[in-house]
Amino acid sequence: MSKEQELFLKKYKKNKRIILLIQILIIVAFLLIWELLSRYHLINSFIFSSPTKVIKTIYHLYLKQELFKHILITIYETIISFIIGLFISIILSILLYLYHNFYKVMDPYLTCLNSLPKVALGPMIIIIAGANTKSIILMAILINVIVSTIVITNGFYNTDKIKLKLMLSLKANKYQTLKYLVIPSSYKTIISSFKLGISMSLIGVITGEFLVSRAGLGYLIIYGTQVFNLDLVISGILLLIIISFILYKLVELLEHKLLS
């Protein structure tokens, strides 16, 4: 390795450490300011709670053996809906690419469904699937599938036109073109859609838990609202932020591994 390369790597690692340090300092400063504002009654501690109250609430949930139960239920529903939604999205995207007229027919409907707030379908989903975990997973799949399908399909249709002409000149049919060119060319798009899919799945799960669940972080938040226990509400939100960050990082690690 040359001196220039070593210098570049040192600068890169140093810059990475500085960014991480700044990110940590922002979180610490935010928590400290929040605690001080609450302790000196500059904000309403009943509404906005405080870091110490949140920690006590989470610890109380742990002592009651409810903390990990709610966390694991939410994670389980998110992962199941993510896997099912991703599988459906890839199948739909392949069909939309192979049959262009089908894509033209479905395009406006996909746009409408994407802009439709899925929570509006909640009562219908509950009637069809029942007030249980199936409804929550179905809600998450609906939110996940539409967005992921649009992203992956757009990736397929943005394949290099010159390469497509080359495949035509080699007498490749559309199935061969899909297998040997379109999917490999869209590999990064498909992998990147994992991040979007896990985020949408978590949103769908929480939305579903707001409607029908008796367990999970969404249930904790809605229950805390109903009994005016805002410490519980903010604790649930904080746990959701942590879980969403962990899930995102896990998918990011999977992305790096697959792309490498």
The pLDDT value given to residue 1: 65
Low-confidence residues of the chain: pLDDT under 70: 1
CA atoms of 202 and 193, how far apart (whole Å) = 14
Domain ranges of the chain: 63-259
What are the angstrom distances between the C-alpha of 173 and each of 93, 152, 164, 177? 18, 21, 11, 6
DSSP 229: -
The pLDDT value given to residue 28: 94
Across 70-104, b (16+ Cβ under 10 Å) vs e yields: bbebbbebbbbbbebbbeebbebbbebbeeeeebe
The pLDDT value given to residue 178: 86
The pLDDT tens digits for 60-75 are: 999 998 889 999 999 9
The pLDDT tens digits for 186-232 are: 888 888 888 888 888 998 899 888 888 788 899 899 998 888 888 99
Specify the pTM. Answer: 0.84
What are the angstrom distances between the C-alpha of 167 and each of 19, 171, 178, 179? 45, 7, 10, 11
Judge whether 159 and 183 are in contact, CB under 8 Å: no
Q: How far apart are the two ends of the chain, measured CA to CA in Å?
A: 22
**In CATH, what class is 63-259?**
mainly alpha
CA atoms of 35 and 52, how far apart (whole Å) = 7
Among left, alpha and beta (phi > 0; psi -120 to 50; other), residue 130 is: left
